[in-house]
Structure formats: C-alpha cells, structure tokens
Amino acid sequence: MINKRRSTAVLLGLLAATALAGPPPASADETTEPAAEPPKVELVLDVSGSMRARDIDGRSRISVAQQAFNEVVDALPEETELGIRVLGATYRGKDKKQGCLDTQQIVPVGPVDRTQAKAAVATLRPTGFTPVGLALRSAAQDLGTGTTARRIVLITDGEDTCAPPDPCDVARELAARGTRLVVDTLGLAPDAKVRRQLLCIAGATGGTYTAAESAEELTGRIKQLVDRAKDTYTATPTVVDGTAGCVDAPLLSPGVYTDREEFSTHRWYRVPVRPGQELRASVSIALDRPVRPDHGVLLRATTGDGRELVRGVDAGSGRTDVISAGLRWSDAEGSPAPKPSEGTLVEPDIVCLVVSNSFAPRAGTEARPGMPVELTVGVVDASPAPAGPGLGRGWLLLAVLTVAGLLTGLVAGLLTRWWVATWREN
C-alpha cells in the first residue's frame, strides 16, 4: 500500500518536474558582460620612399593608400576608436640611425574627427626609411593596455630596412604581453621578401595577411578588418600561469584562459569538481612560429596523485593555425567509496589538467616566449548513464506484443475447447 502510494507520488513529481523544466537554459554566450572599453584599432601606414612607385592601376601606391584611408574613415563604425600612425614620413636624410626613428602618430587613438583625420592623411608624402619594428612597438603603446583585444593593421610595400629589431620578433614579443594584440598585415604589390616578413608578423600575433593589388582590394580589406575588430574585440581570455606540477598549479573556475607553453614542456592547472558535476576542458595551441610539419597536442585530466582519468588528443600535419583537443570527465557512479548521505558536506575533487605538446622547432626557431595556449574550463551537472529502460518502444514492439497476444488467445481458446469437450464426455 505504502509502496503504491509512493510510486504514485513519484510519478506525479516526475510529471511536475518535466513540466517545470521547460526550455534548456540559455547558452553562456548570452551572459557575456558588456565590455567597458570601445574597440581600438590603429592603422600603421608605410610612407617610405618606395611608396612613390606608380604600379597599382597606374597610380602611385601612396595615393591608393590615401584613398583607401579616406573611405575607411568615412565608413568607420560609430563606437570604434581609430588611430593612424605613419613610418618613414618625415626624415629626408641618408643617416640610417636617424631615419630608423622616424615614426609618428598623426591621428591619436580615440573617437575620430573625420575631417581632421582625412586632412592629416592627405598631407603625407613618401619620404624615408621603413622602421616597421619600431612602428609596431609604438602602435602597441598608442593602443594602451586593457582587458579587450587591440588590433593593428599594418600596410606596407617594402620590407623593414631597420632591423634589428626584426619586426617579426617584435610582433611575437608584443603578442606575449598581457594585453591581447592582433596584427593584420597588408602588402601593397608585395615581393617574396615582403610577403615572408608580413606572413611572419601576422602568424606571430594570430592576424591575417593580404596581398593588395588594387585600390578596391585594399579598401575592402581594411574595412573588413576594422569591422572585425568591432565584432570580436571582447573575446579575451584571462592570462594564467600554469606550473610544472600539479601541487602548486593555479586553481581555475569555469571560463577561458590563455597561457604560453614552450616546446616539449608541460603546463598544469587544477579545477575543483564537486560530486555530481562534470568537468569539461579544451585546449588549443597556436602555431605562431615555423615548426616542423607534424605536430600534436595532448590534454590529460589526472587525480591529485597523478592517476590519469581521461585524455583528449589530436595530431596533424601541415599548415594550420591551432591544434586543439578536449575532454569530459565526471566521477563514475558506483565508485568504491560509500556514497555520503544527502546533506553532508563533502570536499570537491581536485582534478589536475596537464597540457603537453609535440611540436618540433625548425632550425633557428626561437623557443621563447612559448606558444600561445588557450584553455577553456567548464563545470556542469553530470549526465548520468541512462539506466536500462525496462520499457520498450517502436512498431516492432507493438507487432511482437500483438502477435504474442493473438497466439496466447488462440492457444487459450483451443485449450478451453478441448477441456470443455473432455469435461462433457466424462
């Protein structure tokens, strides 16, 4: 009797729970807090002597760039803060030391005064050297530090004439700083050397490279990059410093983190996971420098004493931007330890996550700073394994039951007839 009542109550409760559960919870994307900062972009334009060359649709490179800048300034999204920096614009002399310091910000990063910005661009005349590295460093300073991503759009037609510092090293060094910085590069009628240099700068910061051979291409691309800054600048992970062992590893809450990992090293992190919860983690390692073609990444979850729980792995060959792996883990039901009763306090499990890579540097590839690692951590309710249902489903089930019923009826009927017949006879 009691059992019956209880099961009725359970049924009713289940019914109510199903009705109340309603639609699934909103995804995490919607809860992103609005960023306090506006998107910040700086255009860095090469105004060195080579920009005089008239090889883009019969016009000089600088006039094409000036036209593109005017159109970009006109079409600038309202909230975007834009700055413009030039390099090689003023020094006419032959002294390399002097010429390699020649970079100025002609429009400060901030809400843009369109007329003023256009006037500043219109006065530019191709002049001096090409100190790309210094210009990048200064542009990073112009953009300042903060929690959101900054974007530099570098437009040049010639390779750096002022190395050292090598602009590619500068880009990698800037990217490894706390503030996220992306350098997109545009080559104006580029040759092989310029292309290689710009590819290196773009690759080191997670940016893109474009070869522009017409005014239309240049304008379209700069507009696209400035728009992209508006759409994506808030996606910035927290910087974390993984350790070489689990004991003193940083304790992470759900979210996205970024770190750096050198060749053949391990980075450890810890995540608290309560009973009844599931850990989800994924990691991406970016190939920001030339490495040998074959590569791999391994993400493992271990207990505090080093026993492996689960691993995620991926490997690849050839050209790629990132290589990623992910894993899920939850405490299996029916673990040997006795289940604590409801309401008692229990310590969460501390799960260690370790990221390792199998990249091989090419000859001359710098090992430091390490390659960018992006780690996402999620802790959600565990999804228990469905119990053997005990109930059936499907047309075949109906058919089997019906045939079985029919046969049973037939047999029962025949038996009854036989029994009645024998009973009558006796």
Residues 177-236 that bind another protein (CB under 8 A): 187, 190, 192, 195-196, 198-199, 206, 208-211, 217, 220-221, 224, 227-228, 231-232, 235-236
Minimum distance, C-beta of residue 358 to another protein, in the bound complex (Å)? 16
Q: Which is nearer to another protein, 164 or 338 (CB)?
A: 338
Instruction: Return the ∠ at Cα 83 (arms to 150 and 142), rounded to 5°.
Output: 60
Binding of residue 7 to another protein (CB under 8 A): yes
Residue-wise over 185-200: b if at least 16 C-beta within 10 A, else e?
bbbbbbeeebeebbbb
Pick one of 60, 243, 282, 302: the residue that binds another protein (CB under 8 A): 282
Binding of residue 256 to another protein (CB under 8 A): yes
Minimum distance, C-beta of residue 333 to another protein, in the bound complex (Å)? 10
Residues 105-134 that bind another protein (CB under 8 A): none
Residues in Cβ contact with 27 at an 8 Å cutoff, skipping those fewer than 6 apart: none
Residues 338-357 that bind another protein (CB under 8 A): 340-348, 350
Specify the stretch interacting with another protein by CB under 8 A; choose among 44-52, 114-122, 255-263, 351-359: 255-263
Binding of residue 15 to another protein (CB under 8 A): yes
| Residues making up the chain, counted from first to last | 426
Q: How many CB atoms sit inside 10 A of residue 122's CB?
A: 10
Instruction: State the maximum Cα–Cα separation within the chain, in Å, rounded to a whole number.
Output: 134
Pick one of 37, 166, 280, 298: the residue that binds another protein (CB under 8 A): 280
* Identity of the residue numbered 138: S
Place of tokens 């030039």: 86
Minimum distance, C-beta of residue 229 to another protein, in the bound complex (Å)? 10
Residues 135-174 that bind another protein (CB under 8 A): 147
Specify the stretch interacting with another protein by CB under 8 A; choose among 48-56, 73-81, 111-119, 335-343: 335-343
Q: Quick one: which H or E segment has residue 44?
A: strand 40-46
Pick one of 322, 358, 369, 370: the residue that binds another protein (CB under 8 A): 322
Q: CA-CA distance, 172 to 136, in Å (whole number)?
A: 11
Pick one of 69, 129, 268, 329: the residue that binds another protein (CB under 8 A): 329
Binding of residue 266 to another protein (CB under 8 A): no
Backbone phi, psi, residue 100, to 5°: -85, 5
Is residue 198 within 8 A of residue 209, CB to CB? The reply is yes
Is residue 326 within 8 A of residue 280, CB to CB? The reply is yes
| CA dihedral over 297, 300, 306, 307, signed as positive or negative | negative
User: x/- binding map, residues 40-59, to another protein, per CB under 8 A?
Assistant: --------------------
Is residue 205 within 8 A of residue 371, CB to CB? The reply is no
Pick one of 23, 164, 364, 389: the residue that binds another protein (CB under 8 A): 389
Q: CA-CA distance, 165 to 163, in Å (whole number)?
A: 5
Pick one of 119, 368, 407, 419: the residue that binds another protein (CB under 8 A): 407
Binding of residue 23 to another protein (CB under 8 A): no
Q: Which is nearer to another protein, 100 or 240 (CB)?
A: 240
Binding of residue 366 to another protein (CB under 8 A): no
- Count of residues touching another protein (by CB under 8 A): 119
**Tokens of residue 112, six digits:** 């843009």
Binding of residue 75 to another protein (CB under 8 A): no
Q: CA-CA distance, 41 to 132, in Å (whole number)?
A: 17
